[in-house]
Amino acid sequence: MEAAVRKRRFSSPGTRDNTLLRPAGAFTTLTVSGELRGCVGFIEPADSLVETVARSAAKAALEDHRFLPVTEAELDSIRIELSVLSGRLPVRSQDDIVIGRDGLVLETPSARGLLLPQVASSNGWDVPTFIANLFRKCGLPVSSIDAPGISVFRFTAEVFSETGAPGESGSSRHDVPS
């Protein structure tokens, strides 16, 4: 993120850790004082986790269309949260969805959207509200998840977030409950 904002070249750290080298989907969420500042990621595991995180962090800082690009002056106040996604499982009914465990992906021939597992629990949503907000995020009228042309999938996420005040080093890791 810092390299992208400062317009510097990012060099991926050399690693032999197979976990970091395996293909994985991931999202980077940026916040300032607890408020969303950017969130971009990749659902499909196309690149190594290291590359996916680097790309999502740069895009969250500079290309989230909901926000102006992050500036160098903001870097010290940005908090970073990474969500490493599991594989997707089809949702057959609302009973398949567990708040706090599952994130959701909705796909139609013309739209696709995702809400991370922590979104529902941090907003106090129940399952119907989670689903309704997923439809809204896709720009679709709220409908049933089993309506024709609609596919809904669930996934879990391993979440890593910074701790401490902005500017302090350190991190913590927590799994979204499964």
The DSSP code for 48 is B
The position carrying tokens 């996916």 is: 52
The one-digit pLDDT tens for each residue of the chain (178 residues) are: 999 999 988 777 676 777 788 899 999 999 999 999 999 999 988 888 999 999 999 999 999 999 999 999 999 999 999 999 999 999 999 999 999 999 999 999 999 999 999 999 999 999 999 999 999 999 999 988 989 999 999 999 999 998 654 444 344 444 444 3
CATH class for the domain made up of 2-85: alpha beta
The position carrying tokens 């293909």 is: 23
The residues of the chain that CATH labels 3.30.700.20 are 2-85
Segment holding 161, helix H or strand E: strand 157-162
The position carrying tokens 């809204």 is: 136
User: Going by C-beta distance under 8 Å and a sequence separation of 6 or more, which residues neighbour residue 142?
Assistant: 131, 132, 135, 136
The position carrying tokens 């909705």 is: 106
CATH class for the domain made up of 89-155: alpha beta
Q: Is the pTM of this model over 0.75?
A: yes
103-107 sheet: strands from edge to edge: 89-90, 151-155, 103-107, 112-115
The residues of the chain that CATH labels 3.30.1490.150 are 89-155
